[in-house]
Structure 1
Amino acid sequence: MKTSHIIGIIIIAAAIGIIITTAGDASSYVTFDTAQEMALNGNENSIHVVGELKKKNGEIVGIRPSVDKLSFSFVMVDDNKKEQKVFYNEPMPADFQRSEKVVVIGSYKDDLFVAEKILMKCPSKYQENTVKAEM
């Protein structure tokens, strides 16, 4: 076998190893109940939970910024309507309160979900604006 063939086989094997490793890190959206169960079973990987901010009479409730405004906590409602307090150790994103859906990526620490990252879907980004011309 030629050296170039051996090098090619090694490169292909390395690529397959990288693909398998990254595929193992991928996760899907779960509910808070499933995330808590995963944490109790020793899963320390980041978990994706999708939901909405808690609202009462159309107003968002449950957002508590820290005194120094460098972190905050909020109440999120998942797709099964379970409410959960979420802590985020970063400042509140600019359009956070306008978001339609929120995805928190993190893990449970006791009964608190600690988010490492927050992804938001804001309605203004996805609504079609129509302009009417007057004659």
Structure 2
Amino acid sequence: MKKLHIFLLVAVAAAIAILVSYSTDLTTYDTIDSAKNKPGQFVHLIAKLDKEAPIEFDPVKNANYCSFTIVDSLGATSKVISYKPKPQDLEMSERVVLKGRMEADGFYCDDILLKCPSKYKDDMNAAQNKLEARNG
């Protein structure tokens, strides 16, 4: 075999190894019920903050503890426990993406990503109202 062929085979093998290693990081969002069926496994949840339930966060007592309740798109609820400070604007978020593990007493969250409402939503409503006023 020529040196070029050996080099190309090694390069292809390395590329395949890299793709396989990155494919383990690809995940999908779980529901609360499916996460409960995978206790202790790392999952991603997407849900809404239950605004009726209280948010437990007391920075004087423990600044690195926050718990709140979420509701997923199927209506299931779960308590979320995070050992990090409460994210700013949690109450204003439209959705939350949570990374962590489901246990018997709740979802232990390692990372929280807030999906806030669009700043353009009010502008779109105003534009729609102007359009209706012109046509109506």
The aligned counterpart of 1:64 is 56
What CA deviation, in whole Å up to 9, does each residue of 1:17-75 have, x standing for no partner?
A: 22122212311111111001022xxx62x21111101123xxxx321014222220110
The aligned counterpart of 1:89 is 83
**Which secondary structure state, in structure 2, belongs to the residue aligned with residue 52 of structure 1?**
strand
Distance 1:92 1:28, change over 3 A: same
Output the CA distance in 2 between the equivalents of 1:128 and 1:3: 64
Output the CA distance in 1 between the equivalents of 2:21 and 2:98: 23
- Matching residue's letter, 1:95: D
The aligned counterpart of 1:50 is 46
8 Å contact 2:36–2:103 — kept in the other structure? Answer: no
Within 5 Å, give how 1:3-82 maps onto structure 2: 3-39=3-39, 44=41, 46-56=42-52, 61-66=53-58, 67-82=61-76
> Which structure has the larger Rg over C-alpha atoms?
2
How many residue pairs match? The answer is 124
- Matching residue's letter, 2:91: Q
Counterpart of 2:109 (choices 87, 96, 115) is 115
User: For the aligned residues, what is the CA RMSD?
Assistant: 2.1
Q: Percent identity?
A: 34
**Which secondary structure state, in structure 1, belongs to the residue aligned with residue 67 of structure 2?**
strand
Normalising by structure 1, report the TM-score: 0.79
Q: Does 1:2 align with 2:5?
A: no
Shift of 1:125: 4.1
- Matching residue's letter, 1:78: D
Shift of 1:126: 5.3
Distance 1:89 1:125, change over 3 A: farther
**Which secondary structure state, in structure 2, belongs to the residue aligned with residue 55 of structure 1?**
coil
Unmatched tracts of structure 1, length 5 or more: none
Output the CA distance in 2 between the equivalents of 1:11 and 1:125: 47
